[in-house]
Amino acid sequence: MEEFRLSFRTQLRTRHPDLLGVLRLVRLEAQLFTVRLISRLSPSQLSLRRRLGDARGLKLHLGSGPNHVDGWINIDGTRNADLRLDLRSRIPCPSGSAACIFSEHFIDHMQHPDSVGTLLRECHRLLEPGGVMRVVVHDGALLMRAYAANDTGFFRRVAETGTFAVDSMSLPLEVINEVFRKGGTHRFIYDFETLEKAFLLAGFSSVKRSTFRGSIMPECNLDLDLPDREFQSLYVDAVK
């Protein structure tokens, strides 16, 4: 059965790549539909929602995936999240209940500007005055500058991290396309100005470029120390 699945997937990838992309989106929507049901019907999820109803000073980790952080409310569609949620939906916490929000390499998987704008407006609602949202994404401007400078060492380093479907023989533009698309899961790649614009449109008062674990709010320094992250990521702090 496993061999059949691999063969079927290989044939789709080589003969019908557009259909494979459609099937990925259908599978994602089916998974998120299940997440929405669990979020509304699971006794443990309902209990957590009730506890969050009058909470204050929350620390919210959005798109947490496998990176569960103690002391934070880890929110994702995956099973190890505290709060299982489709993050295109309303987050069940009171307005002004969060001291800080963190999200790493997540919003670039959301549709820009609609879904991302909705999420950022929701985060603005959740934050207390002066609260901080820290976002880490791929830095599109960095990739473009490296291409313009013919910085083959940079692209070789990206390829050698092993997180993309490229290798050390890939040409710079092949690496760029893989980062921008990531097998069809990336929806938008940001530079600072584009991310700043999205935050300001969502109501944030200021947006500051940051560095690896250099947040203006030390509690938000959750940046993952992975081989592919610091040297090619954009770090941003937005203040309500």
The domain at 56-239 falls in which architecture?
3-Layer(aba) Sandwich (3.40)
Find the mean pLDDT for residues 168-191. 92
Confidence of residue 155 (pLDDT cuts 50, 70, 90): very high
Q: Side by side, which strands form the sheet with 73-76? A: 83-84, 73-76, 58-62, 98-104, 127-138, 233-239, 206-210
Contact (Cβ atoms closer than 8 angstroms) between residue 99 and residue 130: no
Predicted pLDDT at 3: 53
What's the chain look like in SS3? CHHHHHHHHHHHHHHCHHHHHHHHHHHHHHHHHHHHHHHHHCHHHHHHHHHHCCCCCEEEEECCCCCCCCCCEEEECCCCCCEECCCCCCCCCCCCCEEEEEEECCHHHCCCCHHHHHHHHHHHHHEEEEEEEEEEEEEHHHHHHHHHCCCHHHHHHHHHCCCCCCCCCCCHHHHHHHHHHHHHCCCCCECHHHHHHHHHHCCCCEEEEECCCCCCCHHHCCCCCCCCCHHHEEEEEEEC
Q: Which residue did the predictor score with more confidence, 194 or 25?
A: 194
Predicted pLDDT at 111: 95
CA distance 172 to 184: 19
Question: Residue 1 above 60 pLDDT?
Answer: no
Confidence of residue 30 (pLDDT cuts 50, 70, 90): confident
CA distance 51 to 81: 16
Predicted pLDDT at 10: 66
Find the mean pLDDT for residues 134-141. 97
Give 235's contacts (C-beta < 8 A, 6+ positions apart): 134, 135, 136, 209, 210, 211, 212, 214, 215, 223
pLDDT > 90 fraction of the chain, expressed in percent and rounded: 75
pLDDT tens digits, one per residue of 70-94: 999 999 999 999 999 999 999 999 9
Q: What is the largest CA-CA distance in the chain?
A: 55
Q: From the CA atom positions of the chain, what is the Rg in Å?
A: 19
Average pLDDT, the chain: 92
